[in-house]
Chain A
Amino acid sequence: MSAKSARQSRKPRKSKATAEFFDLRLYIAGQTARSIAALANLQRICDEHLKGRYRLEVIDLLERPQLARGDQIFALPTLVRKLPEPIRKLVGDLSDTERALVGLDLRPRASDRS
């Protein structure tokens, strides 16, 4: 979200990204190195950017495969941002922090910056 459009939003907030509540689901398959890395990376991002305003559910598809259908999961790990809308899907182990922040709308997208 760019600064310009934030000013135009009805609610008088400084920035949408710093106020909204985040509902997150992390899909993994077993305790693989990649799953563990994804969880650690996500934890770090949440601590730095979403302290006190997020909820995280970790879903292991090896235990509950039927849940893959609902959120349209095909790649793993996948982080789904259920809230705020629109839904975002972050595919991968979140090791690229910059892209993860952009994906979560915590950083403006490259195309919005100019």
Chain B
Amino acid sequence: MPKAATRPAPVQPVPKSPTGIQGLDEITGGGLPRGRPTLVCGGPGCGKTILSMEFLINGARQFDEPGVFLSFEESVEDLTANFASLGLDPRPLSARKKLSLDYVRVEPNEIQETGGYDLDGLFIRLEHAIDAVHAKRVVLDTIETLFSGLSDTRVLRAELRRLFNWLRTKGVTAIVTGERGENGMTRHGLEEYITDCVILLDHRVVDQNATRRLRVVKYRGSTHGANESPFFIDELGLSVLPIASLGLQHSIAPGRLSTGVPDLDAMVGGKGYFRGSSILVSGTAGSGKTSLGGYFVEAACRRRESALYFAFEESAAQIARNLRSIDLDLEPFLRKGLLQIHAARPTTSGLEGHLSAMHRLIEEKKPRVVVVDPISNLISVGTSVEVRAMLARLIDFMKVRQVTALFTSLTIDEGHPEGTDIGISSFMDTWLVLRNIDRNGERIRTLDVLKSRGMPHSNQVREFLLTSQGLKLLDVVRHQGRVLIGSERAAHVTDGPVGPPRSGKRAARR
């Protein structure tokens, strides 16, 4: 029918080339626009070159898309050495003709302009390199260097426009890097010519901690995350941590798993935590948070499930020794490698560093349960908003992998356990509150379940003891309508109930 012909064609999704960079493909919805140039800009040392190189290396290694790297800044030897140090050694790929590196040296001192010219020399070199490896990806890093060697900016601009158009007709997916300018995205306004996709990198220092941020400023014909996302460069390259949540689409893992303390299992619906859920254990100093973490991983190891313990306060040896004092022996599991404790001071690297390291370890070890002890210590290296966002990201990451995670959090104010200042409780499925109450000259430990989604749970505040035989939850003793704790309770239990025996039951019914 002719009517159908006049209907506008459905919008075709822009085809994309995956970068293979953790997190970046997520933000861009699958990668960079295929067959088009993308502008990556930022100040010196912001990571442009590394991002570009990883895009090429991943292309050649994972997606069978050979690449050409045309550097205007570093010699091939320097580039090779720099990338080898990041675990991105380009030499094997060069040897297999999957990658071509070339250095275009622009030396202003030896150049004299004597009349009309164009950039055909650059075109010819690029085309020669593209043809030699059948490249599908190209990086030009940083082409603005040409402006330092050639003074006729009018010619240069016209030629760059021609170059980017030519790259489009060659059908290569390209990254063109540009130095951040004072008045625009780039010093020489490359954003005027490259409009398909623009990514901005930023490197700033906040409270002595260097933080890196990535933002997709523009992506023609595609939706993209518009937020700034932290990213991190370590010995394995670059990874981006999108702040935006993955959404709540993870499938739910069936089953429950023990808290490691039978009495506590009884308090959370009789069967323990949900598999794949997140548990927050908050409490003041010395209230027994690490002990609960210890029980949790020990129970996992007993089930022969691997466990990962991130310690931000104590060393692995310290944790193992301290838990031995409550009859919890982690040694055999540590030896077997079933349990791994990773201890690090929060300040040894930025927040991104910690989270990225955690992501990588979780990817690598594939644990079934994870403990982060304590999450509150990460606040010391980030602002609350950041911690919140990145924690959300970490929790999503683990939920997708159906990892059950227990986070401890140090509460400063005894009276208000809810004042966990990161505001992270909304991400948590189960929240246990530990208190260390000072009353009548004695310290009494209590535990209660503040919330536990999707299961009936106890509403009682239970007293517990940390003894050389382990953690003991004490039975609730009531007297005259109130719960007895501490020495009152001890007196009550040894001397026998003082009032009529039924009063306790009546109280329980209330």
Which residues of A come within 8 Å of B, CB atoms?
27, 29, 34, 37-38, 41, 61-62, 65-66, 68-69, 72-79, 86-96, 99-100, 102-103
With contact pairs A88-B110, A89-B110, A89-B111 given, residues A77 and B127 touching in the complex (Cβ less than 8 Å): no
Return the contact of B111 from the options A27, A37, A69, A91 (Cβ within 8 A).
A91
When the two chains form their complex, are residues B114 and A93 in contact, meaning their CB atoms are under 8 A apart?
yes
Select the residue from A27, A91, A93 with max chain B CB neighbours within 10 A.
A91
Interface status of B207 (Cβ within 8 A of chain A) = no
When the two chains form their complex, are residues B128 and A99 in contact, meaning their CB atoms are under 8 A apart?
no
When the two chains form their complex, are residues B104 and A74 in contact, meaning their CB atoms are under 8 A apart?
yes
Select the residue from A76, A86, A99, A102 with max chain B CB neighbours within 10 A.
A76
When the two chains form their complex, are residues A99 and B125 in contact, meaning their CB atoms are under 8 A apart?
no
Return the contact of B113 from the options A72, A76, A91 (Cβ within 8 A).
A91
Chain B proximity of A25: nearest CB distance (Å): 13
Interface status of B236 (Cβ within 8 A of chain A) = no
With contact pairs A72-B105, A75-B150, A91-B150 given, residues A29 and B114 touching in the complex (Cβ less than 8 Å): no
Which residues of chain B come closer than 8 Å to A90, judged between CB atoms?
111-114
Which residues of B come within 8 Å of A, CB atoms?
102, 104-107, 110-122, 124-125, 127-128, 146, 150
Which residues of chain A come closer than 8 Å to B115, judged between CB atoms?
37-38, 41, 92-96, 99-100
A66 vs B102: C-alpha distance in the bound complex, in angstroms?
12
Select the residue from A27, A74, A89, A99 with max chain B CB neighbours within 10 A.
A74
With contact pairs A65-B127, A76-B120 given, residues A92 and B113 touching in the complex (Cβ less than 8 Å): yes
Which residues of chain A come closer than 8 Å to B119, judged between CB atoms?
74-76
With contact pairs A72-B105, A74-B146, A75-B150 given, residues A62 and B113 touching in the complex (Cβ less than 8 Å): no
A91 vs B113: C-alpha distance in the bound complex, in angstroms?
5
Which residues of chain A come closer than 8 Å to B113, judged between CB atoms?
90-92, 96, 99
A90 vs B114: C-alpha distance in the bound complex, in angstroms?
6
When the two chains form their complex, are residues B121 and A61 in contact, meaning their CB atoms are under 8 A apart?
yes
Query: Closest chain A residue to B118 by CB distance?
Result: A76
A80 vs B106: C-alpha distance in the bound complex, in angstroms?
14
When the two chains form their complex, are residues B121 and A92 in contact, meaning their CB atoms are under 8 A apart?
no
Chain B proximity of A113: nearest CB distance (Å): 16
Return the contact of B121 from the options A38, A73, A79, A86 (Cβ within 8 A).
A73
What's the count of A-B pairs with C-beta under 8 Å?
101
A62 vs B124: C-alpha distance in the bound complex, in angstroms?
7
When the two chains form their complex, are residues A74 and B106 in contact, meaning their CB atoms are under 8 A apart?
yes
When the two chains form their complex, are residues A75 and B118 in contact, meaning their CB atoms are under 8 A apart?
yes
A30 vs B150: C-alpha distance in the bound complex, in angstroms?
22
> Does more than half of chain B's interface fall in helix, strand or loop, or is it mixed?
mixed
A21 vs B125: C-alpha distance in the bound complex, in angstroms?
30
Query: Closest chain B residue to A77 by CB distance?
Result: B117
A22 vs B150: C-alpha distance in the bound complex, in angstroms?
24
Chain A proximity of B141: nearest CB distance (Å): 14
Which residues of chain A come closer than 8 Å to B146, judged between CB atoms?
74
**Interface pairs (9), CB distance under 8 Å:** A68-B125, A72-B106, A89-B107, A89-B112, A91-B111, A92-B115, A92-B117, A93-B117, A96-B114
When the two chains form their complex, are residues A91 and B128 in contact, meaning their CB atoms are under 8 A apart?
no
Query: Closest chain A residue to B122 by CB distance?
Result: A74
Which residues of chain A come closer than 8 Å to B121, judged between CB atoms?
27, 29, 61, 68, 73-76, 78
When the two chains form their complex, are residues B125 and A74 in contact, meaning their CB atoms are under 8 A apart?
yes
Chain B proximity of A29: nearest CB distance (Å): 5
When the two chains form their complex, are residues A65 and B110 in contact, meaning their CB atoms are under 8 A apart?
no
With contact pairs A72-B105, A75-B150 given, residues A91 and B117 touching in the complex (Cβ less than 8 Å): yes
A69 vs B150: C-alpha distance in the bound complex, in angstroms?
18
Return the contact of B112 from the options A37, A68, A72, A102 (Cβ within 8 A).
A102
Select the residue from B107, B112, B117, B125 with max chain A CB neighbours within 10 A.
B112
Chain A proximity of B388: nearest CB distance (Å): 49
Which residues of chain B come closer than 8 Å to A62, judged between CB atoms?
124
Chain B proximity of A64: nearest CB distance (Å): 10
Select the residue from B105, B106, B116, B122 with max chain A CB neighbours within 10 A.
B116
Which residues of chain A come closer than 8 Å to B104, judged between CB atoms?
72, 74
When the two chains form their complex, are residues A75 and B125 in contact, meaning their CB atoms are under 8 A apart?
no
Which residues of chain B come closer than 8 Å to A37, judged between CB atoms?
115-116
Return the contact of A68 from the options B106, B107, B117, B124 (Cβ within 8 A).
B124
Which residues of chain B come closer than 8 Å to A102, judged between CB atoms?
112
Which residues of chain B come closer than 8 Å to A27, judged between CB atoms?
121
With A66-B128, A90-B112 already in contact, 19 other A-B pairs whose C-beta atoms are closer than 8 Å: A34-B118, A41-B115, A61-B120, A61-B121, A65-B124, A65-B125, A68-B128, A74-B121, A75-B119, A76-B118, A79-B114, A88-B112, A91-B117, A92-B115, A93-B117, A95-B115, A99-B113, A100-B114, A102-B112
A72 vs B110: C-alpha distance in the bound complex, in angstroms?
11
Query: Closest chain B residue to A102 by CB distance?
Result: B112
Which residues of chain B come closer than 8 Å to A79, judged between CB atoms?
114
Which residues of chain B come closer than 8 Å to A61, judged between CB atoms?
120-121, 124
Chain B proximity of A103: nearest CB distance (Å): 3
With contact pairs A72-B104, A86-B110, A89-B110 given, residues A34 and B116 touching in the complex (Cβ less than 8 Å): yes
Query: Closest chain B residue to A81 by CB distance?
Result: B110
